[in-house]
Amino acid sequence: MPQRKVSVINHYAFPPGSGGITRNFDMFSRLRGWQPHFYAANINHTSGERMTVDDPRYTLVPIPEYKGNGAKRVLGWIAFAAGAGARTLVRPADVIFASSPQILAPAAGMVVAALRRKPFVVEVRDLWPDSLVSGGALKEGSALHKVLQGLEKTIYAHARQIVVVTKGWEDHFRELGINVDKVTVVPNGADLAEYEVNESREDLRKEFGIEGFTAVFSGTHANYVGLDLIVDAARRLPDVNFLLVGAGARKQWAIDEVKKLGLTNVKFHDQVPKSELVRILSACDVGLHTVSPQSVFDKGMSPNKLYDYMAAGLAVVSNAKVPIRDVISDDEVGACVDPTELVSGIERVRDADESTMKRWHERARELMTNKYSLQASVDKLETVLEKALYR
């Protein structure tokens, strides 16, 4: 049977080794019977660096350089949607798959699918425009808000299948009049084989300069991730070391704040490919998942870093007890607390006895093996594509 082709439109579909989120590549490259082609922007939005790729499965769409969240970033969204749409229009495909968070990418996929009369699948990784309103970037009820809401509803209505990353969003689709029968949860996940390291923990700690009890935060240093809460925790817990790995618009603020407060227990590390991140995580003691309080998060979330931490054998502290309720619960693999209780969560893990840590680690491995394995998510994605193709 010849392989079927799927075009994947995702502004942020980073190629492997680029140090960003590789969800789409990780899943689509493992599909059986499908040949993916990825359309991504040529700028790494967390580091601002232009990317290059040798993989023939990738097309990097040129967009203008930008910093922060100003008008140039919006121009970049438009440029990507137009460029990816034009390129997808002329490339053979059996299914058009487009992913948020920026909503213009799925809009481009919807248009291409309609013009070519191909099945359209949309992946919703962020509830736009609700997340913009919740984060204060867009006024609720404004003209632009209403336009984006209309576009959102149109995209969902035209999609044969809808992929979401977490449970809890069903009511959102119902409110928009969308049939939830075409919604499938395909959570983030990890391949445990990729998290095995050959070096000893002691050697890794020496290499990365990690000492004492160390809490690590990895990922995009953005406004919504609560970096202020981590800095405050470092101020209040001088006996705990903090390592922040990644890049983003908020990173320089965090560096400056640490210097201003004279904190000596906080270190920063550049964004790294996943293979290197695994080595860093293996040298730490607890993984931090933090968010700034936003109402949209309470509908549910599926953060990549949680799966990275659990796969790497770390205990977890999250201040998003409600948002991640469908992923893990308090005392299951660490501490899940309310938004303002990050310090108490870190203290609980720091002071946990050996038997508790062992129980957390065993449960994390069980979850990553049986529930959140990357292959389980790939299987669900295959089912979604088959439904879209043969509906």
Q: What are the tens digits of pLDDT across the range 105-160?
A: 999 999 999 999 999 999 999 888 888 877 777 788 899 889 999 999 999 999 99
DSSP character string of 21-58: --HHHHHHTT-SSEEEEEEEESB-TTT--B-----TTE
**Whole-angstrom Cα distance, residue 15 to residue 273?**
10
CA separation for the pair 88, 273 (Å, rounded): 28
The string of pLDDT tens digits covering residues 285-306 is: 999 999 998 888 888 888 999 9
Q: Angle at which helices 274-282 and 201-208 pack, to 10 degrees?
A: 110
Q: Is the pLDDT of residue 328 over 90?
A: yes
What are the domain boundaries of the chain?
A: 4-189+373-390, 192-370
Smallest CA-to-CA distance from 261 within 230, 232, 282 is with 232
What is the model's pLDDT at position 1? 60
Give the CATH fold of the 4-189+373-390 domain. Answer: Rossmann fold (3.40.50)
Coil/strand/helix, residue 113: helix
With beta carbons less than 8 A apart as the criterion, state whether 270 and 247 touch: yes
- 192-370 to CATH, choices 3.40.50.2000, 3.40.50.300, 1.10.760.10, 3.40.50.10210: 3.40.50.2000
pLDDT digits (tens, 9 = 90+) for 65-118: 877 666 788 899 999 999 999 999 999 999 999 998 889 999 999 999 999 999
Predicted local confidence at residue 355, as pLDDT: 98
Please state, rounded to an integer, the average pLDDT across all residues of the chain.
93
Q: Do residues 216 and 234 make contact, with C-beta atoms less than 8 angstroms apart?
A: no
Reference 23, options 182, 143, 153, 163; nearest CA is 163
Q: What is the mean pLDDT of residues 176-205?
A: 95
- Give the confidence band of 19 by pLDDT, cuts at 50, 70, 90: low
Using CA atoms, how far residue 16 sits from 5, 52, 179, 273, in Å, is 20, 11, 35, 7
Are 4-189+373-390 and 192-370 equal in CATH topology?
A: yes
